[in-house]
């Protein structure tokens, strides 16, 4: 079966005054449909950069990337954006809620890309507000919410359209432990129902929800382990100058 996600020799480099700076180096990655993958590593390892490319938000890279059989590296920007809207849900580290829209209106945005009837969209928004316990916040604006409440809305927005691929960048970073546990249990349930999930976290307990963990450092993917297995160090290719 063709992998859900395939990356071959993927690299991202930015120009600096000191010369080229590689944010990702020779990434080789396969993720099967229905997998729950955790990405871990220190700050600056390239984790968020990798998620942004997986989510089709970043097109400035070299190499090959295929999502659901679509060769992303060959797609025009408009085609890539359409693929994102159709298949991807993203929980951003910085929320990315629209301040001039209410909570309910923020939740409606992903549904507006799916050409759903208005009544069906309203029903999905109401159901999601109830599921996340934020019915009382539906008419508030993001600036009127605490950081934890904004994070809950961001998670709800990413999930409301039931994406085939959920990408989560520190999805529980601003939540209390109990709220974080509820989100991770929801991720587990959605994954059991078939959703493919890639999360970035520094929390070992949340990482354990995944089927396997990928370790990154300095843009290199260094290691992988399955759930419950000891970490195995992968051989790093020789660095190019």
The answer to whether residue 11 is domain-embedded is no
Mean pLDDT of 70-86: 95
Based on the structure, what is the number of domains in the chain? 1
The answer to whether residue 179 is domain-embedded is yes
The answer to whether residue 234 is domain-embedded is no
Mean pLDDT of 219-226: 76
For residue 81, the model assigns a pLDDT of: 94
Mean pLDDT of 115-127: 93
- The yes-or-no verdict on residue 136 having pLDDT over 90 is yes
Condensed to tens digits (0 to 9), the pLDDT of residues 184-205 reads 999 999 999 999 999 999 999 9
The answer to whether residue 22 is domain-embedded is no
Mean pLDDT of 73-79: 96
Mean pLDDT of all residues belonging to the chain: 90
Closest CA to 219 of 62, 65, 50, 92: 50
Between the alpha carbon of residue 25 and those of residues 9, 29, 166, 188, 234, the distances in Å are: 8, 12, 23, 30, 14
For residue 223, the model assigns a pLDDT of: 63
User: What confidence category does residue 233 fall into, taking pLDDT thresholds of 50, 70 and 90?
Assistant: very low
For residue 235, the model assigns a pLDDT of: 40
Could you tell me the CATH number of the domain that includes residue 201? 3.40.50.300
The answer to whether residue 176 is domain-embedded is yes
For residue 224, the model assigns a pLDDT of: 58
Strands, sheet with 70-71, edge to edge from the N-terminal-most edge strand: 19-31, 5-16, 62-67, 70-71
The answer to whether residue 13 is domain-embedded is no
Mean pLDDT of 114-137: 93
- The yes-or-no verdict on residue 229 having pLDDT over 50 is no
- The yes-or-no verdict on residue 237 having pLDDT over 80 is no
Tell me the angle at which helices 118-131 and 103-112 cross, rounded to the nearest 10 degrees.
130
Q: What are phi and psi of 85, to 5 degrees?
A: -65, -30
Domain that holds residue 141: 36-59+88-227
More confident: 75 or 174: 75
95 Cα distance to chain centroid: 12
User: What confidence category does residue 226 fall into, taking pLDDT thresholds of 50, 70 and 90?
Assistant: low
For residue 115, the model assigns a pLDDT of: 79
The answer to whether residue 2 is domain-embedded is no
The answer to whether residue 6 is domain-embedded is no
State the Cα–Cα distance between residues 145 and 209, nearest whole angstrom.
28
- The yes-or-no verdict on residue 155 having pLDDT over 90 is yes
Q: What are phi and psi of 117, to 5 degrees?
A: -60, 150
Mean pLDDT of 54-70: 96
Mean pLDDT of 78-100: 93
């Amino acid at each position: 079966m063709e992998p859900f996600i395939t990356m071959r020799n993927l690299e991202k480099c930015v120009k600096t005054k000191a010369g080229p700076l590689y944010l990702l180096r020779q990434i080789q990655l396969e993720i099967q449909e229905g997998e729950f993958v955790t990405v871990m590593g220190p700050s600056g390892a390239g984790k968020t950069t990798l998620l942004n490319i997986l989510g089709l938000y970043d097109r400035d890279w070299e190499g090959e990337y295929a999502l659901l059989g679509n060769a992303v590296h060959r797609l025009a920007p408009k085609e890539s954006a359409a693929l994102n809207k159709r298949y991807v849900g993203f929980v951003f580290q910085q929320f990315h809620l629209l301040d001039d829209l209410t909570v309910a209106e923020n939740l409606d945005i992903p549904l507006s890309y799916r050409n759903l009837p208005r009544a069906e969209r309203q029903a999905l928004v109401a159901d999601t507000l109830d599921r996340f316990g934020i019915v009382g916040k539906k008419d508030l604006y993001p600036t009127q919410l605490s950081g934890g409440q904004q994070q809950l809305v961001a998670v709800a927005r990413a999930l409301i359209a039931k994406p085939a691929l959920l990408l989560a960048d520190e999805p529980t970073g601003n939540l209390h432990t109990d709220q974080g546990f509820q989100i991770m249990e929801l991720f587990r349930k959605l994954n059991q129902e078939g959703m493919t999930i890639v999360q970035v976290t520094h929390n070992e307990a949340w990482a354990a929800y995944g089927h396997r963990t990928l370790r990154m450092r300095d843009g290199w993917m260094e290691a992988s382990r399955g759930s419950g297995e000891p970490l195995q160090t992968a051989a790093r290719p020789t660095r190019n100058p």
